[in-house]
Amino acid sequence: MSGLRPLLGRMFTPVRLDDPTPTSLTRGSALAITGLVAQGLLRFATAWLVGRLAGQAELGIVASAIAAATILALLWPTSTGSAASKYLARARGAGSVEQARATAGHLRRRMLVVVLVLAAAAVPVWVLLDGGSPVGALAVALLTVGYSGYSFTRGVQFGTGQSARATGWDVVCVAFGLLALTLLLVAGVRGIALVLPLAIAYGVYTLAGWPFGPSSRPDRAHRRELDGFVALGAAGTLASSGFLQLSQIVARLVTGDAGAGEYAAALALATPASMLAVSLTLVLLPALSELLGRSDDEAFRARTDEATRSLAVVVVLMFGSIVLCSRLLIAVIWGDRYAGAAPILAILAVAVMCTNLGVVAVNAMTARSRRGMAINVAASITGMLAGIAVWVVAAPVHGGVGVAIGYLAGTVVIAAVPVSVTWYQGRHRWGTLYLRIACAVVLLVLLHGIQVSFDLPAWSDPGLAALFVLVWLVASRADAARLPLPSWAHRT
């Protein structure tokens, strides 16, 4: 209880820009994972409850509404959260509280204006996509506002070193959101109104983490730097994260509400495992920025290498297991009605794995310079265009599977460029690492081909997954040995 009281005290007081809580990269990642697992649970539970209780068509509508709101938030607010995470941490590293206040104030003012514009735009966007009424579209507008605020305030809290506070509010808001969703479903509510629990949960989080208080105005050069960072980041995330959300909307346009529900079911299982990389981003970007603030290039390079190797071990293991257990996961979690989602899940899992493998490189380039950000943006746009080109050919013929193939093609491009640039700039010795990853992908394809060709029963999937995990851990034993373990693991 003694450790809980200080946390509760911090949670229910305004965010402090000058009072960070000391934490290591490992502990910070653990806290970020906890919070993102909670938020992922809210997203997944929303999809699962709607899909199981209301059906595929209702799930298709709800998932498309969430995708539309997320894409709108990517136009500026989510990158504002990244800017807060980076520049508040940099000010902290330089020991300048005044710079932190000026940065937070500028980003806060920009957010208020942009969110109002996006909320107004959400209504006609949803009416155009869904053909529904403006009243129903207000739910999408509220979700856009809530998710935008959540993205910003989460970045503020991690940038100011208050990861425990952010995680505590994650848990509280998820509990509230799940309770509200359950009550709506039990009451017989259907349709677009089912996104309201998400909107309210994000709204509560926003109010709890908003950087209230006095602030000075940054000088013109710093304002331009902040706005340039957000603009570049918005273009990049719109073409990368927005690409994933766009795939959900394309699936609905190509296959209808029921097909979109099937695609959403696969997406709901493919994306939660990526929370590890997302949580690492929340901690790694401010950590790398702080090192640059100290001009410690050698530590910057070492941390980039360590994070890349550790993430590769875990990511390939997780997503490889999802690929090989895709049929069993769909059958157990979603039921026989969603059997067509299994091949979509297998493809999406490989695509999300590629995205995760590039996360450290993207963060290293973002932290280092605006030129690095520009390269990331160019890679994201190129990858998205490549994916859209594949959609034009494959989606009309193969439906949801074709949409997933296009997304996979795009993510390979999006991840390959920053990895290659970071590899070269940092003079990293990653040749053996990426050769090992390539061999793991080949092994995945072979094992999945055996499943399909021999029509093996779904209950055999864990056996093939265990074989893959064993081979991967043996091949990666040197990097796996450096993974941070809980204290009990070191005592056994």
pLDDT digits 0-9 by tens, 427-457: 899 999 999 999 999 999 999 999 988 888 9
CA dist 125 to 27, 119, 122, 461, Å? 41, 10, 5, 42
CA dist 453 to 292, 448, 449, 458, Å? 52, 9, 6, 13
- pLDDT score for 490: 36
Assess whether pLDDT exceeds 60 at residue 488. no
- pLDDT score for 2: 46
Q: Regarding predicted confidence, which is higher, 386 or 93? A: 386
Mean pLDDT confidence for 402-412: 96
What residue type is assigned to position 128 of the chain?
L
- pLDDT score for 28: 58
Assess whether pLDDT exceeds 70 at residue 276. no
Q: Name the residue among 231, 286, 236, 227 with its Cα closest to residue 103.
A: 227
Length of the chain in terms of residues written: 492
Please state, rounded to an integer, the average pLDDT across all residues of the chain: 86
- pLDDT score for 1: 45
Could you give the CA distance from residue 16 to residue 178 in angstroms, rounded to a whole number?
29
Mean pLDDT confidence for 153-175: 87
Residue-wise pLDDT tens digits, 23-69: 555 565 566 667 777 877 888 889 999 999 888 889 999 999 999 99
**Which residues have C-beta within 8 Å of that of residue 324, sequence separation ≥ 6?**
444, 447, 448, 451, 461, 464, 465, 468
- pLDDT score for 8: 54
Assess whether pLDDT exceeds 70 at residue 284. no
Could you give the CA distance from residue 191 to residue 186 in angstroms, rounded to a whole number?
14
- pLDDT score for 303: 82
Q: What percent of the chain has pLDDT over 70?
A: 87
Mean pLDDT confidence for 395-415: 95
Q: Output DSSP code: residue 455.
A: T
Backbone angles phi, psi at 238, to 5 degrees: -65, -35
E strands in 10-67: none
Mean pLDDT confidence for 298-303: 80
Could you give the CA distance from residue 205 to residue 157 in angstroms, rounded to a whole number?
11
Assess whether pLDDT exceeds 60 at residue 462. yes
- pLDDT score for 368: 74
How far does CA 125 lie from the centroid of its chain? Answer: 23
Q: How confident is the model at residue 17 (pLDDT cuts 50, 70, 90)?
A: confident
- pLDDT score for 321: 95
- pLDDT score for 279: 60
Assess whether pLDDT exceeds 50 at residue 345. yes
Assess whether pLDDT exceeds 70 at residue 290. no
Mean pLDDT confidence for 2-10: 53
Residue-wise pLDDT tens digits, 222-263: 899 999 989 888 887 888 788 999 999 999 999 998 899 999
CA dist 111 to 88, 97, 365, 382, 463, Å? 16, 21, 25, 28, 49
Query: Which residue's structure tokens are 């209301």?
Result: 54
Q: How confident is the model at residue 485 (pLDDT cuts 50, 70, 90)?
A: very low
Mean pLDDT confidence for 287-296: 65
Q: Name the residue among 145, 207, 162 with its Cα closest to residue 21.
A: 162
- pLDDT score for 31: 67
Assess whether pLDDT exceeds 60 at residue 22. no
Q: Which segment of 35-39, 124-128, 456-460 scores lowest on mean pLDDT?
A: 35-39
- pLDDT score for 285: 57
Assess whether pLDDT exceeds 70 at residue 282. no
Write down the domain spans for the chain.
Answer: 16-481
Are the C-beta atoms of residues 376 and 239 closer than 8 Å to each other? Answer: no
Query: Which residue's structure tokens are 């498309």?
Result: 64
- pLDDT score for 147: 95
Mean pLDDT confidence for 396-413: 96
Cβ burial, residue 135 (10 Å; 0-12/13-18/19+):
exposed
Q: What percent of the chain has pLDDT over 90?
A: 50
Q: What DSSP assignment string belongs to 2-22?
A: TTHHHHHHHHTSPPPSS----
- pLDDT score for 168: 87
Could you give the CA distance from residue 381 to residue 363 in angstroms, rounded to a whole number?
17
Could you give the CA distance from residue 465 to residue 457 in angstroms, rounded to a whole number?
14
- pLDDT score for 295: 65
Are the C-beta atoms of residues 332 and 268 closer than 8 Å to each other? Answer: no
